[in-house]
Amino acid sequence: MLSTAAKHSGGQEQRYIGRFAPSPTGPLHQGSLLAALASFLDAKAHDGKWLLRIEDVDQHRTVHGASQAICETLEAHQLFWDGTPIIQSDRDARYIEILQQLAAQERIFYCNCSRKLLKQHSGPYPGSCRKHKQAHYRLATATEPASHAIRFDVGHKQPRQEQFIDRILGPQSFDIGALGDFIIRRRDSLFAYQLAVVVDDADQGITDIVRGADLLDSTPWQILLQRALGLKSPRYAHLPLLVNSADQSKLSKQTGAPAIDNSQVVTNVLRALHQLGQALPIVPPSVTSTAPSKRSSLQDPQLVRDILAHAIAHWDAHKIPISPQLITD
């Protein structure tokens, strides 16, 4: 029998591989739990797999112990991933291979533009270093640290509209000419998120990406990289962002979002389901009571599994609200 979600995708059962890809810059907060839960439920409602990837490509932002804390929070919420997680910091050799492929296609170049120079241009990257393609071919294929960034040449300097369909937000168009050549390896030799995410999604066979709408602007770049590498683009679904009620800023570690409390698992899951516009199971009020004597039921693994099973059976991505939501509690 088709799940609700499979019916919504046109009635065809397709192979589905989803993922959650947290950056270990701190513990999960309510916004990141929302992305974890939505991507998990969407995968399970499609009888798919749900993979975990630790996105520690920016090692300067990695917080010691954060990966472990993230895994513990997922497990406490009964969100168990399939297979072994991949860790981006283990994958430099693979990213170098991809750089070599792009260099051979003359799609990348070394860039030594100073921040000052770039600030003088208000629009996309002006292309000042594009002429370095040939001259720096050898460097682009080398593994030694370079003192220059490497940019991807988006390929179209004239306005040209392209589209992709977001499962939540609908058709999205972008102008390739306005995107600008973007950095795929940084001046400090660290690989950029845009490159790592495309390579990892492809290597993990990801068919569906469910993530926060703060990454919507990155999607066109990722699609262009996928095309250059001959990869099929996954389907995308960008979730509404949770914002702080005071100033509407995105809930994030930077804006002081508190860590998820693993002793309130039932409340956390029910709140996230509500924020995702999903049907809630009937949970006796005594369970969600904040009375100290009831605290243990808020972490009852069987109760959480029952709530998740209900959420999978009733999952409907069309019910996810489109606009950002305010946190009311």
Binding site for ligand GLU (CB under 6 A): 21-23, 55, 197, 211, 215
Minimum CB–partner distance for residue 286 and ligand GLU (Å): 36
* C-beta of 125 vs 193, nearer to ligand GLU: 193
CA pair distance 111, 130, nearest whole angstrom: 8
Residue with tokens 């499962």: 167
CA pair distance 194, 205, nearest whole angstrom: 17
* C-beta of 49 vs 211, nearer to ligand GLU: 211
* C-beta of 190 vs 197, nearer to ligand GLU: 197
Minimum CB–partner distance for residue 150 and ligand GLU (Å): 20
* C-beta of 42 vs 55, nearer to ligand GLU: 55
Minimum CB–partner distance for residue 112 and ligand GLU (Å): 28
CA pair distance 301, 282, nearest whole angstrom: 17
* C-beta of 179 vs 215, nearer to ligand GLU: 215
Q: Tell me how many degrees the CA angle 133-59-34 measures, rounded to the nearest 5.
A: 105
Minimum CB–partner distance for residue 216 and ligand GLU (Å): 11
Identity at 137, one-letter amino acid code: Y
Which among 180, 110, 121, 175 has a CA at the least distance from the CA of 149? 110
Minimum CB–partner distance for residue 32 and ligand GLU (Å): 7
Residue 146's contacts (CB-CB under 8 Å, 6 or more residues apart) are 110, 139, 185, 187, 189
